[in-house]
Chain A
């Protein structure tokens, strides 16, 4: 038990002393998760809203596929991306494997079905009603779009945060496509995994505490907002 206690003490020392290596890992983790969430949200929130507003052929099949994709194992996603980005493969010339960009691609693909399905479901259940009220009250397309965004801003923010939370806590796919290279692609989750196998519990605990704090803050924010919504 002593080494765990010592681990906590060293962890706090590392955090307070602003250990450069530790903070590089944290910044990269937050940065890639933020970018993947931003890219996916910018594209798939409008798409999910638009698809949910209209009735179209194959609606049920579409929903089933998107929902099923939410359960896809992350290591499979990582493996597929690694295969596509490897030197002798289709996108090998881009030389993206083992770079932060590869991590962003992996995280983006992982959160895509989550973002699309949540937005699509929200659009079907609420945006249709709002769109109808907007029409009834005489709103044009632009008015109705702004009305939907205004009415659903809390729910959409929760979706964005859920995606960020999923991205920042991902380990399998990130390990495969990023390679956990020191100073380049090492993020919190892959670091914790590596430090554990090396027996360096103090840094592992420090990163664990920070990751836990970030996810706790995010989930707490979601919880408070859900109460308000």
Chain B
């Protein structure tokens, strides 16, 4: 049991963008997805997140939609402040003690000073950090990250890695699309290369 992909094919119009015969992800481990631009890495994340259901093939994914979190390369911040953004996934899940949970997350990930800031006006690094904490707020079992350190300086990258390290002990499965060496050097994980389909 885990995440098993067999004969996965995905097309956009007539163009085939993914063709994976066999691919397994280990539960509780971190996996890096590598590959050149257009190899279909982000598409694969969408499929694994159960956001994109239009594909051919078999995927065995033990996680339910509610247990999965996906953080985009350019995350969209909801209107309102950082607090509201982090609270939103908890609100729609009707979680109890939302205020305490959000306050705890803000403290744990050193976001207290950003709490009342308008989320859409944050810097790239702050946005990415808030998006990851928002994605972790409901304690997902599978975390999918798409180029989380794109456009970030080295300090911000290391800060993000620290956030993930803090969460790693909870037994979460993490799949990251990245080419960032800061990740490989500071956050252990298996590397899988997705080959680009040549037409």
Q: Which residues of A contact B (CB under 8 A)?
A: 129-130, 132-133, 135-140, 143, 147, 150-151
Contacts and interface: CB of A to CB of B under 8 A. Distances in A.
Contacts of B138: 138
Given A136-B49, A137-B134, A143 B92 contact: yes
A133 B89 contact: no
B45 to A, nearest CB: 10
B175 to A, nearest CB: 14
Nearest to B77: A133
A138 B78 contact: no
B78 A151 contact: yes
B51 interface: yes
Contacts of B75: 133
Contact of A132 (B69, B76, B79, B92): B76
Nearest to B138: A138
Contact of B51 (A130, A136, A143): A136
B51 A150 contact: no
A138 B89 contact: yes
A138 B92 contact: yes
Nearest to B67: A138
Contacts of B93: 138
Contacts, number: 33
Contacts of A136: 49, 51, 69-70, 72, 135
B25 interface: no
B92 A130 contact: no
A140 B92 CA distance: 9
Interface in B116-139: 134-135, 138
Contacts of A139: 92
B16 interface: no
A138 B66 contact: yes
Contacts of B51: 132, 135-136
14 contacts: A129-B76, A132-B51, A133-B75, A136-B49, A136-B69, A136-B70, A136-B135, A137-B89, A137-B135, A138-B89, A138-B92, A138-B93, A150-B79, A151-B78
Nearest to A153: B79
A133 B66 CA distance: 13
A146 B69 CA distance: 21
A133 B79 CA distance: 12
A140 B93 CA distance: 10
B88 interface: yes
A205 B97 CA distance: 61
Contacts of A140: 92
Given A138-B65, A138-B66, A133 B92 contact: no
Nearest to A143: B92
Contact of B79 (A129, A137, A151): A151
